[in-house]
Amino acid sequence: KALLFSLIIMLVVYAAGLIPSPLLVLCLPFVIMGGITFSALSMIVTARVKGIDSLNYYITLVLTPLYLLSGIFFPLEGALKKIGALSPFYHTAAICQTLASGSFDGILLNGAVLSLTMCIMVFFAMLAMKKRLYR
């Protein structure tokens, strides 16, 4: 889903001429990694909640702040940048913004953090779901 939505947005933005850099296509693997990270995080929460109503807390208290502090909607500076850097959304957005500008600055660091976060989240999602299913 993340790949499809990102691809559609990239095509529209590129067709409109808002981002002239063809390097934007290179962010698709990172978008997939971000999607896997957040799907794993959601699986962890799904394995832990008692009922469907509890998911509202997760969306309101976790996903929305992570999304808002990703640097997509407004530039982050100071303490907000440090807090935002804890979010995989931030690293995915930073990679896409860097490639859209035609540069490669910081892609290795952001990609490494995103990869590590993805591996950790997938590991804990598998543990949480095994525990839930074997209960």
Query: Could you tell me the two tokens for 13?
Result: 């933005």
Instruction: Give mean pLDDT, residues 45-62.
Output: 88
pLDDT of 54 > 90? The answer is: no
pLDDT of residue 115: 96
Instruction: Give mean pLDDT, residues 120-134.
Output: 94
How many CB atoms are closer than 10 A to CB 42? 17
**Amino acid in position 76:** L
Q: What long-range pairs does 19-25 form, CB within 8 A, spacing at least 24?
A: 19/100, 20/102, 21/99, 21/100, 21/101, 21/102, 23/99, 23/100, 23/102, 23/104, 24/96, 24/99, 24/100
Compute the mean pLDDT over every residue in the chain, rounded to the nearest whole number.
Answer: 90
Spatial separation of the C-alpha atoms in residues 99 and 62, rounded to whole Å: 27
The structure's pTM equals 0.86
